[in-house]
Amino acid sequence: MSLETDFIVIGSGIAGLRAAIEIAQTGARVTVLTKDRTDESNTEYAQGGVAVALSDDDEVALHEEDTLQAGAGLCDEAAVRILVEDGRRYIQELIEWGTEFDREGGRLVFTQEAAHSRRRILHAHGDSTGREIVRALLARAGLEPNIAFLAHAATESLLTEDGRCSGVRYLDPLVRAPRELRARACILASGGAGQLFLHTTNPEVATGDGMAMAYAAGAELADMEFVQFHPTALHLPGAPRFLLSEAMRGEGGVLRNEEGERFMPSYHKRAELAPRDIVSRSIVAEMERTATSTVYLDMTAHEARYLRSRFPKIYETCRRYGLELARDLLPVSPAAHYFMGGVRTDLQGRTTLSGLYAAGEVACTGVHGANRLASNSLLEGLVFGARAGRAVVEDYARDNEIHHPSQRNDQSHSAAAPLSSGEIRLAVRKRVRRLMWERVGIIRTRASLARALHEFNQIAHAPLGPLSRNFLTVATLIARASLWREESRGGHYRSDHPERDDESWQVHSILSRDSDISSSARVDWSPQSQIQDLSKSI
């Protein structure tokens, strides 16, 4: 059985919700599919806040400069300019829609985070910014009668016909059987892929399915080697890898080793406020030097009353595991957190596959370059989610036809894939996650990456179902791109090529189903730009 709608949005985080609202405001029907609950997404777990140049002592140009600096030479300057300029308007819109950012005396409160030159981070309820934004967007979406939500409906693949995306194949949440939903066009807003790593701050739904589905359907992916590892995830036996926000270091938290010594000033002039990739690698180096598995975040310079008010969710979570923020050193270590790469888009969210758009962490807009500036991700989802929603309507407003792909032209072939047993699925994920952490993690080498690819190739011969196949596909693409880039830049560090090499490697990696890995010689690229195929085979 197949269903129809005007447009499909996959994912209900900040990008997906904002895109759906933009579409529905035109009178078009839009169906939002989510793998889990409607309010379960990476956005909900965003603690630190959202960066925007709205304070009296800040400027859009400074936000742009900080973003470009963090991106290590690979940001698309046009995309960054859109982010920082349009972001102000969209944040004001969120406030008008009822988002309750923290205030003092009626004025918005801005905090500091790493690599920002100004205090420009808005937060809500201390450390629950993402949850508050999702609440406000869901409330706003509820006012649009043309938005239909389909929860617990895991999308397995994209349907294509004659080189264009025309719908999705998903698991019906009631009968747990495959079902097709057709539309004029689709927007991917399915989030990142942190669950590919053994240690991650991401929720269970962040498995990279959107990237894998786009790749299988023929869309290009870019910059898959750039993965951001958050330096400070709670590291306690039996506890989840709970994120201890960047804002804690922005508010004066310091990192100490096993001997209680503060070590970050020895690694970087900005100490704890250095870029995340540098802090993460510094922590790894310090753990190796001291032969320990953790370092410690020290917030004891602050009183308990302030910490309880500023970081209420973190405060209560730590108390649940026997830690008092104002008294105890908090054991931490890095964990996979955010993907800079993803499905390659232009400035309106169009991918290289007709009828397919992407926004948020699943997309690679060029905003983040090789390393995301802290708290730019929520702003990117908001701004480019709205732009994708507007573009999809403008591009297909006069197209009243719902395209019906034949099974022969469905490039993802999900119907032909055997359903894996629960045991196989769990075994595959367990092995892939360990390989990604140990061999494609914070520090990489040619030998470690080649070994990971060899094992991924062996796993690929197992009888995998669609979602397990997606999981393995994204892991393989990250390892391929990481092996191809023989330098260190941003979130990609090769100990056998530890230096940044702008002469040879100031390019974007491009991966597609129909060709070997290549690169774009342009830094300010879009899918319509000329691609210089360097054919650096791996």
Instruction: Give 163-190 pLDDT, tens digit per residue.
Output: 999 999 999 888 888 999 999 999 999 9
Mean of the per-residue pLDDT values of the chain: 90
Whether 179 maps to a domain, the answer reads no
Residues 242, 102: Cα–Cα separation, whole Å: 22
Position 535 scores a pLDDT of 31
Does the pLDDT of residue 409 top 50, yes or no? no
* Parent domain of 456: 415-507
Single-letter amino acid, residue 275: P
CATH number at residue 321: 3.90.700.10
The beta-strand segments (E) located in 176-286 are 178-182, 185-188, 221-222, 227-234, 254-256
Position 276 scores a pLDDT of 82
pLDDT band for position 416 (50/70/90)? Answer: very low
Q: Which of 283, 312, 334 is the last residue of a domain?
A: 334
- Total domains in the fold of the chain: 2
More confident residue, 411 or 112: 112
CATH number at residue 472: 1.20.58.100
Does the pLDDT of residue 400 top 80, yes or no? no
Q: pTM, whole model, 2 decimals? A: 0.90
Q: Which of 64-73, 401-410, 491-500, 509-518 is predicted with the least confidence, judged by mean pLDDT?
A: 401-410
Whether 249 maps to a domain, the answer reads yes
Position 526 scores a pLDDT of 45
Position 48 scores a pLDDT of 63
**Residue 168 φ/ψ, nearest 5 degrees:** -135, 160
Does the pLDDT of residue 203 top 60, yes or no? yes
DSSP letter (8 states) at residue 293 = S
Q: What is the mean pLDDT of residues 40-61?
A: 79
The beta-strand segments (E) located in 134-262 are 147-150, 155-161, 164-171, 178-182, 185-188, 221-222, 227-234, 254-256
More confident residue, 478 or 522: 478
Residues 298, 331: Cα–Cα separation, whole Å: 9
Position 534 scores a pLDDT of 29
Position 455 scores a pLDDT of 98
Residues 313, 292: Cα–Cα separation, whole Å: 28
Whether 450 maps to a domain, the answer reads yes
More confident residue, 486 or 397: 486
Whether 182 maps to a domain, the answer reads no
H/E run at residue 155: strand 155-161
Q: What is the mean pLDDT of residues 139-143?
A: 96
Position 411 scores a pLDDT of 44
Whether 144 maps to a domain, the answer reads no
Whether 128 maps to a domain, the answer reads no
Residues known to be catalytic: 276
Residues 198, 61: Cα–Cα separation, whole Å: 38
Does the pLDDT of residue 421 top 90, yes or no? no
Does the pLDDT of residue 22 top 90, yes or no? yes
Tokens of 191: 């989030």
Does the pLDDT of residue 82 top 70, yes or no? yes
Whether 462 maps to a domain, the answer reads yes
Q: Are 8 and 187 in contact (CB under 8 A)?
A: yes
Q: What is the mean pLDDT of residues 322-350?
A: 97
Whether 288 maps to a domain, the answer reads yes
Give the list of residues 6+ apart from residue 217 with CB closer than 8 angstroms, or none. Answer: 157, 158, 160, 165, 353, 356, 411, 412, 513
